[in-house]
């Protein structure tokens, strides 16, 4: 699918971030609004930053899998006043500072983090108390004051405010870590998260980087308070991110979003290389009102919408359409239900020609499930289905799993970040190390990270236990095609199903598992 004429993006995301130290939903927590082509808004409220990043990454991977480009707005500062990077890292510019922050910030699986201690370490690069302030912990932290320093701003310290805060007066300073309106903790935890995420999904960071060849996702700093959210019963944060994605979509449809992005070119060099800016701050009134004209003109009362409402009928018609339109003749009979579910998950019948599987792969997977069904109990796991992301696990239809068969995700295990550092690889790859003890005879479903598949293959070739089946569907532009080619061609001796090329994703990996447990039945409820 191609984006509409004149549009820069196919979809829009807005994220209201939180530095909370415990899992939290509702007001003052993380909210994600996502609008994809032809879809209604997806509004989610993950309880932790780890869950939020996994969900954002999954949404972007799915978009990449179908050639869509997403503009993602994040409600925290992307930079610090000019001179901060030089003082802390010895280098000018945003990239060394982002790397330094990402190296310092540690996140636990339930939102615990070390932002106050990290700020104290950063303060040590400056004379005296340093610019970060607002220790919100009960214990004292050497190098992090509880109150704001009164002197030195713009002299021995960087300025108190970025250019952005001088233009948007209600925006808070980046140094404040605690108290009403504090965004300093959000900036530290948010920048650390985006530094890792941008490398995994190949995103460009605006305004620091160009928009590239028109295919890369773009991350931008937003300030939802520039817009007035619609009234409603939902928390204000939720209504604000909804207002942002609606505004971005309207601006892009009217051809005005490009002007707001291009405004970075007229900003001071420090803004473009270190401080960052808020999308829309160069023309707040135009950002608020631009794109208000609805391009669709309705005349008279619209005709009633006619559509299928019966879920069982929807599945029957979908599968029948796929069987009529897709060429499955090259696939063995046992693999055709799996191929149909893969096509159903992505909507593209041409993927049938890119499916590759070893002889007897589907039978091997079904046999593993059947063995577990014959021996498993509700209290004892007999067959783990190892998933590289929460998105894969959540797409597996739980009611179809026999007792003792369950999805297992180790990505958010507390040991994984340190393990990844020690191994010099991604968290997704490091997480596969935790599968090893139970890998023998298991099912592996990879729908996100090529590095997870590469690392698994390396382990098996070094003598790791062998799973009963590998379902390899990583998606993206860096390593996805290569990892699946390796799965299909290397002599690892493990039954496999994969999809050659860049396409794939969590939905397809989950669909492959569902084909093993359900075939083409059992969905219509």
Selecting among 163, 344, 455, 492, the annotated active-site residue is 344
Structure tokens of 214? 């028109």
- Mark the ranges of the chain whose per-residue pLDDT is less than 70: 1-5, 38-39, 212-213, 290-303, 376-381, 522-525
Alpha carbon separation from 18 to 1, 32, 133, 482 (Å, rounded): 34, 11, 18, 36
Q: How far apart are CA 525 and CA 520, in angstroms?
A: 13
Are 509 and 395 contacting, i.e. CB atoms less than 8 angstroms apart? yes
Starting from the edge strand earliest in sequence, which strands make up the sheet with 11-16, in order? 42-44, 31-35, 11-16, 70-74, 218-221, 204-205
Rg (CA), the chain: 25
Alpha carbon separation from 460 to 453, 466, 470 (Å, rounded): 11, 7, 11
260 is catalytic: no
So where are the chain's domains?
A: 14-76+191-276, 311-518
Nearest to 218 by CA among 262, 187, 185, 179: 262
Computed over every residue of the chain, the mean pLDDT equals 91
pLDDT of residue 379: 52
Q: What is the pTM of this model?
A: 0.58
Segment holding 289, helix H or strand E: helix 284-289
pLDDT of residue 500: 95
Segment holding 184, helix H or strand E: helix 184-201
Domain 311-518 has CATH 3.40.50.10230: yes
Are 176 and 134 contacting, i.e. CB atoms less than 8 angstroms apart? yes
pLDDT of residue 109: 82
pLDDT of residue 1: 38
CA 294, 296, 297, 300 torsion-angle sign: negative
């Amino acid at each position: 699918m191609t984006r509409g004429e004149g549009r820069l993006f196919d979809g829009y995301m807005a994220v209201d971030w939180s530095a909370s130290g415990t899992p939290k939903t509702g007001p003052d927590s993380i909210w994600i609004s996502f609008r994809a082509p032809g879809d209604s808004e997806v509004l989610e409220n993950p309880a932790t930053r780890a869950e939020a990043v996994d969900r954002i990454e999954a949404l972007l991977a799915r978009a990449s899998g179908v050639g869509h480009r997403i503009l993602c707005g994040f409600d925290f500062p992307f930079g610090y006043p000019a001179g901060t990077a030089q003082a802390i890292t010895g280098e000018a510019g945003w990239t060394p500072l982002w790397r330094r922050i990402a190296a310092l910030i540690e996140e636990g699986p339930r939102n615990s983090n070390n932002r106050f201690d990290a700020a104290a370490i950063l303060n040590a690069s400056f004379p005296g108390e340093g610019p970060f302030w607002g220790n919100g912990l009960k214990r004292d932290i050497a190098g992090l004051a509880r109150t704001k320093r009164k002197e030195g701003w713009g002299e021995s310290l960087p300025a108190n405010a970025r250019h952005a805060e001088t233009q948007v007066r209600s925006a808070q300073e980046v140094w404040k870590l605690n108290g009403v309106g504090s965004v300093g903790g959000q900036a530290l935890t948010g920048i650390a998260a985006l530094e890792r995420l941008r490398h995994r999904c190949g995103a460009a960071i605006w305004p620091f980087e160009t928009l590239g060849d028109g295919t890369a996702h773009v991350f931008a700093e937003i300030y939802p308070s520039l817009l007035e959210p619609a009234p409603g019963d939902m928390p204000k944060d939720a209504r604000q991110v909804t207002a942002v994605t609606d505004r971005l979509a309207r601006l892009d449809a009217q051809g005005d979003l490009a002007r707001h992005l291009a405004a970075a070119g007229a900003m001071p060099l420090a803004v473009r290389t270190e401080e960052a800016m808020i999308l829309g701050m160069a023309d707040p009134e135009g950002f608020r009102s631009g794109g208000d004209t609805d391009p669709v003109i309705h005349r008279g009362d619209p005709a009633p919408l006619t559509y299928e409402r019966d879920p069982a009928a929807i599945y029957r018609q979908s599968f029948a359409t796929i069987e009529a339109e897709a060429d499955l003749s090259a696939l063995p009979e046992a693999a055709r239900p799996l191929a149909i579910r893969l096509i159903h998950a992505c909507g593209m019948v041409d993927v049938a020609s890119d499916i590759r599987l070893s002889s007897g792969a589907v039978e091997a997977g079904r046999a593993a499930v059947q063995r577990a069904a014959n021996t498993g109990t509700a209290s004892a796991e007999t067959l783990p289905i190892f998933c590289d992301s929460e998105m894969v696990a959540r797409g597996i239809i739980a009611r179809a799993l026999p007792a003792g068969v369950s999805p297992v995700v180790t990505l958010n295990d507390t040991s994984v970040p340190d393990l990844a550092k020690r191994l010099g690889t991604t968290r997704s790859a490091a997480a596969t190390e935790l599968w090893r003890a139970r890998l023998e005879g298991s099912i592996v479903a990879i729908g996100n990270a090529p590095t997870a598949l590469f690392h698994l293959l390396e382990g098996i070739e070094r003598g790791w236990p062998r799973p009963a089946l590998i379902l390899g569907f990583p998606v993206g532009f860096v390593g996805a095609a290569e990892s699946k080619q390796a799965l299909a061609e290397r002599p690892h001796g493990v039954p496999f199903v994969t999809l050659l090329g860049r396409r794939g994703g969590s939905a397809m990996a989950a669909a492959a598992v569902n084909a093993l447990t359900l075939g083409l039945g059992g969905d219509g409820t």
